[in-house]
Amino acid sequence: MGSSGINAEYMGSSGINAEYMGSSGINAEYMGSSGINAEYMGMALIVGAIYWQIDRSQAGMMDRISLISFGILMVAFLPFDELLLFPKIRKIYLREQESGQYRTSAFYFGRTIADLPYSMVFAFLFGLILYYMAGLQNDATKFAIWTGIIQAVIFCGSSMLIAIGSLAKNFETSNILATFFLLLFMVTDGNWVQLDKIPHWLRWLRYVSFLGLGVQAGCKNEFSGLETQCDAKEVELGVCSFTTGDEVLKSRAMYDVDIGQNCLVICMIALFWRIVAYIGLRFLFTGKTCRERLEG
């Protein structure tokens, strides 16, 4: 009977783990599932077809900026289901962590790092499709830089979404917060409003907007060394304002952008969000005070 009792206890523990595995399965379905990412690949093909082989006319220059802005935004949305990571399994995590099965740090790093390579692969494929279908500069070095920008953006986007999920009690709240931040960062990326036209009291946003930093780096990479053209209609209308990509960058207040510095800042912002995510996971919605969690 004693042995049976032990086995029953073991089976109970297995039940808890089975519940955890089931929850992990649900999260796996939401986070980085092949179906969801396949939709993003389909979107990349559709957008690539719409922007197919952009010419170097004056209008084409603006189309390139719009494409880069849209591409960076979509990459940031790629891991959107990371919002479900902590709200979905917080109760199970708290129960198992308090029973001594693992430390918060082990759970945090294990869960947040596991899906990152998967997201980065799909981000690379997304960027690859857009880059060559749209006819951006056919240069290996520039494509490599574009890929680096994409990877920095998805790392930061994933970090921010995980952090927001840890700060919210449920998915509905986290969804509202994530949408707010992404839209706020989107409108200050340099595409919708020129950077030097943003009101002075809001210009600080350009330095913390990872979307803006990514778009600016992408535009700097694409327009540097690019020669523009004017089609017959533009010549007739007298709207040939730009002869080089550098002139386009100057008109959008992006000429002095340092690509490496922007990517470094994006990664620093990502690390900030990762720290916030850890704090949120450890101390919020646990049913205990911060002191009790520190002593536990």
Q: Supply the DSSP string of 136-163, one letter for each residue.
A: ----HHHHHHHHHHHHHHHHHHHHHHHH
**155: pLDDT strictly greater than 50:** yes
Whether this prediction's pTM lies above 0.75 is answered by: yes
**pLDDT above 70: percentage of residues in the chain:** 81
Which 8-state DSSP code applies to residue 78?
A: T
pLDDT in the model for residue 114: 81
Give the chain's end-to-end CA distance (angstroms, integer): 34
Is the distance from CB of 210 to CB of 244 less than 8 angstroms?
no
Average pLDDT, rounded, for the chain: 81
CB-count burial class (<10 Å; 0-12, 13-18, 19+) for 146: buried
- Residues 2-20, mean pLDDT to the nearest whole number: 42
Higher-pLDDT residue of 103 and 167 is 167
Give residue-wise pLDDT tens across range 232-242. Answer: 676 666 667 78
**pLDDT above 90: percentage of residues in the chain:** 35
pLDDT in the model for residue 7: 43
pLDDT in the model for residue 289: 66
Is the distance from CB of 157 to CB of 76 less than 8 angstroms?
yes
pLDDT in the model for residue 295: 63
Higher-pLDDT residue of 76 and 9 is 76
pLDDT in the model for residue 105: 81
Residue 244 dihedral angles phi and psi, to the nearest 5°: -140, 160
- Residues 81-93, mean pLDDT to the nearest whole number: 80
Lowest-pLDDT choice from 15-19, 142-146, 282-286: 15-19
pLDDT in the model for residue 40: 76
Give residue-wise pLDDT tens across range 164-220. Answer: 988 888 888 888 888 898 888 888 887 787 777 778 888 788 888 999 999 999 999
**246: pLDDT strictly greater than 70:** yes
pLDDT in the model for residue 221: 96
pLDDT in the model for residue 80: 83
**14: pLDDT strictly greater than 60:** no
**What is the Cα–Cα distance from 77 to 179, expressed in whole angstroms?**
10
Higher-pLDDT residue of 93 and 162 is 162
Residue 120 dihedral angles phi and psi, to the nearest 5°: -65, -35
Is the distance from CB of 221 to CB of 145 less than 8 angstroms?
yes
- Residues 266-276, mean pLDDT to the nearest whole number: 95
pLDDT in the model for residue 160: 93
pLDDT in the model for residue 270: 95
Give residue-wise pLDDT tens across range 29-79. Answer: 444 445 566 777 888 899 999 999 998 888 888 899 999 999 999 998 888
